[in-house]
Amino acid sequence: NKGHYEHYMQKEINEQPESLTTTMRGRLIRRGSNIPKSVLLGGLKDHLKTIRRSRRIVFIGCGTSYNAALAARPILEELSGVPVTMEIASDLLDREGPIYREDTAIFVSQSGETADTLLALQYALDNGALCVGITNTVGSAIARNTHCGVHINAGAEIGVASTKAYTSQIVVMVMLALAIGGDTISYQARREAIIDGLFDLPNKVREVLKLDQEMKDLAKQLIAEQSLLVFGRGYNYATALEGALKVKEVALMHSEGILAGEMKHGPLALVDENLPIVVVATRDACFSKQQSVIQQLHARKGRLIVMCSKGDAASVRPNEHCRVIEVPQVEDCLQPVINVVPLQLLAYHLTVLRGYNVDQPRNLAKSVTTQ
Ligand code: UD1
Ligand code: F6R
């Protein structure tokens, strides 16, 4: 049921304040003023000790689910102190990469039925790793075959392009980082700030959704383009990959997410006055580096669209021709949840304006059950 929306993708983008609320329901604990706030993930509580003691955490997934894990990687590393590595499921299988008994392998999959992810799960089980699932589908193969896990509870996702599952996956993995991190004193203020940020996140998503008309206007400007680049780094490297994935899969426009730190190692050669480039430059530890990326792209006459934190337009915009998307600022590790929303809206409007099928992009299936 699409309600008053024209497409499922549009409905699912707009229901993210509610889906995120459901994802967090009963899992964030704010007791009294003297007791620290904490996180309770029922499915993991008996396994946290083992996960903390593992030698490495390996995230395994495909497509959008891989991107969600990439967004959560920095906070998991920071709070757990355990090395975190990333595997695209098919690539792990192609290489038969090393997985050990001392590893915790975390399988991220909206459907819980993706063939590559399932085969990688079988491979990790055979190698003796602790296998954890993060899935949206109760009773799915990944939920059944992992040792433990967390349901993201985002509600059924019907549009082939994953939107609300992406943001709920990130939130679950941030909660997972808080749960694994335990309650060391040195991280207490940081942890509490993140938990407060999680409580307020649905409101902030509601706020960013108000950019809908602005993104539609931007889509009108980009309707006939061949290509769109998206630059991000740190927490928002994932935003760049995910924004580009949305644009290519539904709007059928070539788009590439680029790690901004790699700009000078090749991508800079593409920059001219015609190619549109989105630069994600919201406030976090990478902000000044992104400011210099903007300067360098501007020096090559790049056609820039800069995403920045509210109030920062003047400090990021190299001149008045540069388009700016201002988004609400949240805790750094939650910023990817906010930043992806305008890019989801952009991909949606581009698709409608270009006349393509939003909910069933050509050649794609919701659940990829073959290799
Ligand atoms: C569970 C109930 C929820 C109830 C809550 C009350 C289910 C599905 N969930 O939620 O309805 O409101 O208790 O306390 O009945 N699991 C895996 N692999 C996965 C995902 C989950 O093994 O990929 C396992 C978990 O380890 C856990 C079980 O499935 O044993 C349920 O997980 P989850 O729904 O996340 O647990 P709760 O949030 O505690
Ligand atoms: C993109 C998209 C795909 C899926 C991928 C993994 O919008 O939906 O990239 O994310 O096929 O699917 P799941 O998460 O079901 O394993």
pLDDT in tens, 177-210: 999 997 778 899 999 999 999 999 999 999 999 9
CA distance 17 to 8: 16
Tokens of 360: 């069933």
Nearest atom in ligand 2 to 142's CA: 16
Q: If residue 49 lies in a helix (H) or strand (E), which one and from where to where?
A: helix 48-53
C-alpha dist (Å) from residue 263 to 259, 279, 283, 291:
7, 11, 20, 13
What is the helix (H) or strand (E) element at residue 254, kind and residue range? Answer: strand 254-259
pLDDT per position as a tens digit, 239-262: 999 999 999 999 999 999 999 999
Is the sign of the CA dihedral 135, 23, 69, 189 positive or negative? negative
Query: ipTM of the predicted structure?
Result: 0.98
Of 62, 173, 248, the one to substitute when testing ligand 2's pocket (max ligand atoms within 8 A of C-beta) is 62
- Chain mean position to CA 305: 20
The alpha carbon of 342 and the centre of ligand 1 are apart by a number of angstroms equal to 31
Percent of the chain clearing pLDDT 90 (strictly above): 90
User: Which residues have CB under 8 Å from 162's CB, separation 6+?
Assistant: 63, 64, 65, 110
**10-residue averages of pLDDT along the chain (371 residues):** 94 98 95 82 96 97 98 97 97 98 98 98 98 98 98 96 98 97 85 96 98 98 98 98 98 98 96 97 97 96 97 92 96 98 98 94 87 85
109 lines ligand 2 (CB under 6 A): yes
Closest atom of ligand 2 to 366 CA is 8
Residues 6+ apart with CB under 8 A from 33: none
